Amino acid sequence: MADTDILIRGGRIIDPANGVDRTGDLLLSDGKVACVDTRVAETGARVIEAAGLIVCPGLIDIHVHFREPGDENEETIATGSEAAVAGGFTSVACMPNTNPALDDEASIEFVYRHASRANLCNVYPIGAVTKGRQGKELAEMGQMDRAGAVGFSDDGCGIACTGLMYRALQYVRMFDKPIMQHAEDPDVTSGGVMNGGQTALRLGLPGINPIGEELMIQRDLTLVKETGARYHVCHISTAAAVELVRQAKAAGMPVTAEVAPHHLLLTEDNCATFDTNFKMSPPLRTSADVEACLAGLAEGTIDCLATDHAPHGVQEKELEFLSAPFGIIGLESALPLYLKVLLTTGLLDWPSLIDRMAVRPARVLRLGKGTLSVGADADVTLIDPDIEWTIDARGFKSKSRNCPFDGWKVRGRAVTTIVGGQIKYQLEPGAD
């Protein structure tokens, strides 16, 4: 037994992939799960006492923006990885809307290189569907696939051209990887800065018509039916879109979806003070949409929770609402927010929450993770479900501070994050 072995003792082990939810010990050895049992003998491994803690497969966020290359002042792969492990995430997938975009083999390799240099969490690159994310010509998806891209997306904008989307779906079938669509039809949404609803009308801000999301998904579903390609709806935000995904799943189509924390907790009303930390894309919608997203998540129509972690510098966000960029950070605040809106309300229990935060995200991108089966990668998150703390953006590991939940009093936090059998994060004792 190597001296790098870790024995996690007496925690509540939740491994939904194997239907496990019980108190016990977990032994990690050589970067893999070695043993799960009621009692594992101490054999010189480093012991972590986990009584009162949740012990689960490492959390996975399949939608983050790490800004590298191009906007390293906002985030880097290294600082983003730090934020990830501090939030309990052992794997993340980063979107290709960097500058330049991740649209070829070299840029996919670049991400892996920087991720391994940071050596904190697994960072998986998502390649662009089109060259430069311009929506005009297909990017070299085959070469990116070989380099390790886990999915394809032009996230930041939808693929507007129907013919191109059709071809992309046809082509991507060769690689069994999903097209992850930012569903927004620019013909009806461009120029908008918040949800095109009652609040936008009142504030005189140009609205993003919510039918834009529905229209694009509707079109895409027709194309998915035709091509059989895997299709994933990023950051779903409207009731109509949830219904479309529900119907598609009922029809047996290879469709998945994710939702972001802010679309479960906030509404367009939060924009009323023109605070740019409430400006994101897709925008905050109505309470009816929030209810639909919560219901979709509870019943499994929405597969994954994903943060859409989108860092922006203070000087960029401190602008008029009209001019500020879209997006907020999420990695370090997501877990307690999910607990607040999903667990304390009884919508999900612990196993189903871990299912949406680890098991299904791994499945959407075929990561081969999200489980504590013996022999699986030793990616483990320890969560203290009772710790009370206040979200303080100034203390974040992320380079950016654009967080609308700053100052919220929350409960529950990742206390230890283990990636590949190594402890990558530990909450300092006494930290608020």
Q: Is position 204 an interface residue for another protein (rule: CB under 8 A)? A: yes
| Catalytic residue, candidates 308, 377, 379, 384 | 308
Interface with another protein (CB under 8 A), residue total 17
Spatial separation of the C-alpha atoms in residues 233 and 48, rounded to whole Å: 39
For residues 140-159, b (16+ Cβ closer than 10 Å) or e, as one string?
A: bbeebbebebbbbbbbbbbb
- Of the pair 171, 321, the CB lying nearest another protein is at 321
Tokens matching residue 8 = 């996690």
Member of 171, 321, 326, 350 binding another protein (CB under 8 A): 321
- CA geometry: angle at 424 spanning 421 and 430, to 5°? 125
Q: Whose structure tokens read 């949740």?
A: 54
Q: CA gyration radius for the chain?
A: 21
Q: Any catalytic annotation for residue 308?
A: yes
Please enumerate in sequence order all residues whose Cβ is within 8 A of that of 200, keeping only pairs 6 or more positions apart, or say none: 192, 194, 206, 207, 268, 271
Question: What are the residues facing 251 on neighbouring strands?
Answer: none
Q: Is position 38 an interface residue for another protein (rule: CB under 8 A)? A: no
Member of 132, 148, 206, 313 binding another protein (CB under 8 A): 206
Binding mask 322-361 for another protein (x = CB under 8 A): xx--------------------------------------
CB of 276 to another protein, least distance (A): 8
Cα torsion 53, 58, 61, 62: sign: negative
Tokens matching residue 9 = 């003792």
Member of 146, 202, 225, 409 binding another protein (CB under 8 A): 202
Spatial separation of the C-alpha atoms in residues 383 and 257, rounded to whole Å: 25
- Of the pair 340, 401, the CB lying nearest another protein is at 401
Pick out residues in 253-282 that bind another protein (CB under 8 A): 273-274
- Of the pair 25, 71, the CB lying nearest another protein is at 71
Binding mask 210-239 for another protein (x = CB under 8 A): ------------------------------
Active-site residue list: 308
- Tell me which residues touch another protein (CB under 8 A): 197-198, 201-206, 273-274, 315, 318-323
